[in-house]
Structure 1
Amino acid sequence: MESIPNKEYSYNGTKSPIFTVFSNEPLLSTKDKLFTLETLQKSLDLKEIMENFASLVASFIRPFNIRFQSAFGFFSLSKSLPSNFTRNFNLDSADHSPRLGTMTYQSETPITATEDKLLAELHQLLQPTLKHALRFSELSSMVYKDHLTNIGNRAYYEETIFHAIEQSNRTNLGLSLMVLDINKFKPINDTYGHTKGDQVLNAFAQVLTKSIRTSDFVFRLGGDEFVVILQPSASCSVSKVQQRILQEIDKNSLLKELDFSASYGFSHWEIGTTASQLFDQADQHLYQNKALDRAQR
């Protein structure tokens, strides 16, 4: 089919004629494809790969607010652009294995047919490196998972809160920390045994996981102590999560049967606050709430 030439389109420092989608010819030149592959293959770290990919998209097309989400990795890059239009792409693996994840683009204006085709070509170049990076993330996550509840452990928390503070420093995203522990957990163990105690820990971990967004994180630090990182976060975020936690507890038959309850404390990150200070503030708030709860009983 004959292609219809459109206006000159500049990407990667060179001007190339862009054709409408009536053409099956690729829009990226061989040189551009090689440059893209070399850029993407510099690292197996998901964050670095996605940052490099976002730079390529901005160079070849235009800047977008970009978000990637999968079972073994999450990435979000905000260019502070108006998000009037959203376009999702499902990234499938070439060998028909489970889907790699979903890429979301937000912009002020809709994505054109030409831009859509360019993104599809860039995704094809991204997928092999992305597959290896996600596999690497999957293997790494085993080191960071709590063996009982299958959520993040203390090591993963310490790494994640460091990166969350770093990101808030760069982007002014709100960041909140919730510290939670189970009320009267020792009597549960003493009365029903440690097997029942483990079931309660698992059930509460599931409650927390169901109560947060995909951009948030939940961890078990040890014993019956849990932590939730909320990012981005506004002043009302903690109360919304707390309401969802109460609703999920009420839905859980095991926890409801045991008249289960948990206490929580929270803190909001401010410029200059360290990870340990943020935790101490939330932990202090937790014990204030526990003391208040005991006084009211």
Structure 2
Amino acid sequence: MQRYAKKFESKNLAVSFYSKQKIMCPFCKKSFAKEEMLTGGGRMIAGSLTDELRRLFEPSAKFGPIYPMIYAVAACPVCHAALLWNDFEHFSDSELIDKIVEDEDTRKKAVETIFPFYDLKRNRTLIDGAAAYYLALLCYEKLSRSYSPTIKKAQICLRLAWLSSDLNDLCPDRGFDYISRRFYLKAMFFYQTALEFETARLEDITAIGNFGPDIDKNYGYDGVIYLCGLLEYKYGQRENISERLKKLDECKRAIARIFGLGKSSKSKPGPLLEHSRDLYDRLTAELKDANVLNLDDDDDE
């Protein structure tokens, strides 16, 4: 794995900087410098928006590939506790602090198993960023519903799926493609569970502030509805076809309610509306094909 270390790094030409004001870890009470990404000078060349609402960035000749989302998680280099920045900087629940402090060794070993040789004391690389997100996922497992952990775990898992896919592009023989798929499945579960909790008033999902799912744009609650349908369509189970078709029909109806059957709406973000129309068409096509096959089977009988 160490022979890939340089692949994780950009060309290291001032991609990031450390803020002058130190950050105090709410868990171990140690301070560390916050690393932030520089955005000017041709570092961020925005590319296409994927159907998963991820903004791709073109690698520049000067700076190489960059991954802006890896700086969105706070990870303490001392105790390896991690959360999204807003939660990290304002965390004060003493009971939960003790739980996370006590879990330090278990958390570090779990992350090292999937993202070996990560280092939180150097300028953050792709594998360090993925490790930071996984540390955060494990920490959110300890938090109460007052922190809206389910929707945050959904967002974190989706980003972990993306970062693991990026790692697989760099290291295709390390099993990161399998890891990416596992995180996609986790993201699907958490997104759908977050909606169920919201509907049942068990957990408020609006406390996340920015629904993302990426860091460049907030697609809001409608984006959550869309992602539930998209992830089910792309990564949902296919062993039980009748159950799959039932789920896809539910997703289609939900998207139709939110986006008006794909009709234009000035109140909806353009890219999200376009992707929703496309997903609605794909869901319709699969459901229609299934009905045709069922009719053919009935005729054979």
Q: What TM-score bracket applies, with the shorter chain setting the length?
A: under 0.3
State the TM-score, normalized to the length of structure 2. Answer: 0.26
Higher fraction of helix: 2
Between structures 1 and 2, the one with greater strand share: 1
| TM-score between both structures, scaled by the size of structure 1 | 0.26
Say which one has the larger Rg: 1
